Structure 1
Amino acid sequence: MLKEFKSHIDTNLSFLSKKKVLIACSGGLDSVVLTILCHSLDMFCSIAHCNFKLRAEESDGDQIFTENLANHLDIPFFVTSFETNNYAKEYALSTQMAARKLRYDWFRELLNQHDFDYVLTAHHLDDSLETFLINLSRGTGIEGLLGIPEVNDIYVRPLLPFSRDQILQYATEHKLQWREDSSNKSTKYVRNKLRHLVIPELLSVNHTFLQNFETTIENLRTTHSFINEQVGRLKQELFEYSGTETIKISIDSLLGFENPKGYLFLLLKEYGFTAWDDILDLLTAQSGKQIFSSTHRLIKDRTFIILSPLNKIVTKQSYKIPEDEHMIMIPSGILKFKEVTEMSEIDLKTIYVDKKTLKYPLIVRKWKEGDYFYPIGMKGKKKVSKYCKDEKLSVLAKERVFLLCSEEDVVWVINYRADNRFKITPTTDQIVKITIT
């Protein structure tokens, strides 16, 4: 197995060459074999062991055994212990999830403190099959059927191509010692049920089942890579960016697909959405309907759905501006006030008003139903809501419309139109230039 392991490292994980790696070693069969193999290849490795204090003396025995292994191999040894059950209760986690979080947080600390490049874990082919079956039983997309990734950020799993039987055979032939975790024999956990009850039955039906599974995983990964490439191209065609983070997607284009729900899943899954039936219904819903994930929201807006991050939603409602204030930050930009002697450039981001018409403090606030103003260049008054509709502003753009007000009167629908009542006249002797940048 050492020859096959070396070939796998050289061919597929050559980036590990001359790197400083940390081996997560529990003292069990898999991690002991991984440690011995890496040491045999003269890799620059150290051992890290977690004592989760879940099995009393047995856990302490694992720690002693692992430290002795490190001493025998003359490689650095790192150890820590956790009150796992207390942590699980405090953060309302299962014991397994608590142990996982504690373990990986500690590994990250070690990497930062001691300049390790990677953490190696001893997951193997059987583990990948168990993960596949767990995800399959819960309902999943293609990503959940890819098994355990061989490389995931700083974590590398060099034993993934090897079966548990291969690892056991290597350990037996080389008379290696390891620790048996008594909890692994219990069928209390789903993974152990699959390991002891389901997978043996599958192997009895077809003795090459594990090898066939490995082939299937490779095929799925090839398919997944192809799909990702096509989705990337599709995003280039369908995503219309407004700013850096807001995205508009044509509803007609989505409805033109034979399976809109499937395309929505592929296009939007990275944004944390899960309610795919509701998202599909959004395509034919009334404008203004919204769906939220933990990080983003989707809004139906006429012929588009708009995707935006939650941190872009404007929450503060109003700002007071005293007479001596010359600059203030608001959600739509920086508002600046300057007294000038004459008008110069005029555009949507600049207005000129007669200072005598202003009553301080001025107010910047979000518009609300019932607000109206007298648009400069038009006759009579107009509701702000009607103005936004006539300007064909999206639901998201409407949320970001702010008004500059003098008491209750609108001076400026910021970024859009000034009010006729505050304009410069021949009798104006004090001009205030207001800009938004």
Structure 2
Amino acid sequence: MEKAFKNLIRNELSYLCNSRLLLAVSGGLDSVALLHLCKEAKLDFAVAHCNFNLRGKESDADERFVKELAKETETEVFSQNFDTEKYAEDKGFSIQMAARDLRYHWFEELRLQHKFDFVLTAHHANDDLETFLINLVRGTGLEGLSGIKTENKKVIRPLLQFSRKEIEAYVKEQHIEWREDSSNASIKYLRNKIRHDMVPLFEELNPEFLKSFLQTQSHLKESQDLVEDYISLIYPETVKKGKLGYELDIAFLQKIPNTKSVLYQLLKSFGFTEWNDVHNLLRAQPGKMVFSATHRLIKDREKLILTELPSETHNQDFLIEENEEFVMLPIGTFTFSEVKEIEEKAKNCIYVDPELLEYPLVVRKWRKGDYFYPFGMKGKKKLSDFFKDKKLSIPEKENSWLLCSGEKIVWVINQRADSRFAIGSPDQKILKITCNL
């Protein structure tokens, strides 16, 4: 196995030879084997150990073992204690999910703080098989069946092509000691139940089950690559980045085959689950929406608009006091300056009579029933009608901010000024207001 590992590093992961690496070492069979293999391959690495405090004295003994192992191999070691049960309770996570979250967040902190290039974990082929079966039991798409990636951003898993039996044989052959996690024997966790109950049944039916699985998974990964290539090809024709989010071309989506699957591939990262509702938006009335926990998809006239859910500042009012020259707000910046004459007009500035302003000025979102006197038009107009005439989408309406003086609208910001505050004669004071949202 040592020879195969060195060949893997040399031929497929050669960049690791010139990198500073952080090895996740629990003290168990797999991670201890990875440490020794990296040592034999003369890689530059340090060790990171997580004590999740879930098994009392046994967890502490694991920590001492890893520290002693690092000392014996002359390796720098980082160790961190976590209150995993409290973290799980606070976040509403399972213990396993909490441990995973804590582990990877800490690894990334260490990587950035100490300038490690990559984090190495000891996941192997059997872990990949168990993850496949877990996803299969819970329900998943093609991506979930494609397995654990050898390279995932800054996390590298160099043992994925090796089985647990190969790793165990290597450790025993080299007379390497490791720690056995007693919780691995418990079948109260789904992964352990699959490992101890399901996999042996499959191996009874096919002694080469792991090998067959790896071949099948290889085909699934190729299929997933094909899907991703197709999505990359049609992406420029389908999606455009707008000011308020992503815009998906409805006409183009309706022309291509497998539209529902394409929508899934495009939007799967945004937390949607009701894919029939997402697909039905293509033929829904304008204004119809589908929500995820973090985003919403809105049917507009000719496009679907993907935006984040409104933030806490969405309906907040902001005050601007008199004599302010520059004001920075969460939504943007305002500049106030007296000028001698009206300069060239621009979308992001207006010229008003400062004597007509009532302070503090208020910056707020538009509300139902708001009206103003649009500059260049006669009479007053409801903002809802003004937006309708301009054919604004729902997100554009929602992100329309107003500059108000008392109960009066001074400016539908970056859209239209109110004529009631216009300059009446050349000898008046002129206040230039500029806004950059």
Give yes or no for TM over 0.5. Answer: yes
Correspondence list, 1:162-241, <5 A: 162-241=162-241
Which residue matches 2:280?
281
| Matched residue SS, 2:387 | helix
| Matched residue SS, 2:32 | helix
In structure 2, the CA distance between the partners of 1:68 and 1:214, relative to structure 1 (3 Å rule), is: same
Deviation at 1:234, TM superposition (A): 2.1
Q: Distance in 2 between matches of 1:227 and 1:155?
A: 24
| Matched residue SS, 1:34 | helix
Deviates more, 1:273-282 or 1:11-20: 273-282
Which residue matches 1:246?
245
Q: Distance in 2 between matches of 1:72 and 1:357?
A: 80
Deviates more, 1:317-326 or 1:199-208: 317-326
Which residue matches 2:410?
411
| Matched residue SS, 1:325 | coil
Correspondence list, 1:130-149, <5 A: 130-149=130-149
In structure 2, the CA distance between the partners of 1:44 and 1:352, relative to structure 1 (3 Å rule), is: closer
Q: Distance in 2 between matches of 1:322 and 1:302?
A: 40
Deviation at 1:394, TM superposition (A): 1.4
Which residue matches 2:31?
31
Which residue matches 2:397?
398
Which residue matches 1:343?
342
Which residue matches 2:429?
430
**CA-to-aligned-CA distance 1:375-434 (integer Å, 9 cap, x gap):** 333333322211111111111111222333443333333322333444344586334344
Letter of the 1:283 partner, please give it: L
Contact 1:354 1:428 in 2 (8 A): no
Letter of the 1:324 partner, please give it: N
The structure number with the bigger radius of gyration is: 1
| Matched residue SS, 1:134 | helix
Letter of the 1:225 partner, please give it: D
Give 5+ residue unaligned stretches, structure 1.
Answer: none
Deviates more, 1:396-405 or 1:342-351: 342-351
In structure 2, the CA distance between the partners of 1:165 and 1:381, relative to structure 1 (3 Å rule), is: same
Give 5+ residue unaligned stretches, structure 2.
Answer: none
Q: Distance in 2 between matches of 1:317 and 1:116?
A: 42
Q: Distance in 1 between matches of 2:350 and 2:63?
A: 73
Which residue matches 1:387?
386
Q: Distance in 2 between matches of 1:222 and 1:120?
A: 24
Deviation at 1:89, TM superposition (A): 4.2
Q: Distance in 2 between matches of 1:200 and 1:105?
A: 34
| Percent of matched pairs sharing the same residue | 48
Contact 1:374 1:380 in 2 (8 A): yes
| Matched residue SS, 1:187 | coil
Q: Distance in 1 between matches of 2:71 and 2:331?
A: 62
**CA-to-aligned-CA distance 1:147-173 (integer Å, 9 cap, x gap):** 222122332221110111222222333
Contact 1:332 1:400 in 2 (8 A): no
| Matched residue SS, 1:404 | strand
TM-score between the two structures when normalised by the length of structure 2: 0.87
| Matched residue SS, 1:283 | helix
**CA-to-aligned-CA distance 1:229-272 (integer Å, 9 cap, x gap):** 322232211223323x6222222333334433222111112233
In structure 2, the CA distance between the partners of 1:325 and 1:220, relative to structure 1 (3 Å rule), is: same
Q: Distance in 2 between matches of 1:251 and 1:395?
A: 16
Contact 2:314 2:365 in 1 (8 A): no
In structure 2, the CA distance between the partners of 1:430 and 1:43, relative to structure 1 (3 Å rule), is: closer
**CA-to-aligned-CA distance 1:166-201 (integer Å, 9 cap, x gap):** 222223333433333332222221111111111122
Contact 1:374 1:420 in 2 (8 A): yes
Q: Distance in 1 between matches of 2:286 and 2:395?
A: 11
Letter of the 1:414 partner, please give it: I
In structure 2, the CA distance between the partners of 1:426 and 1:155, relative to structure 1 (3 Å rule), is: closer
| Matched residue SS, 2:283 | coil
Letter of the 1:230 partner, please give it: Y
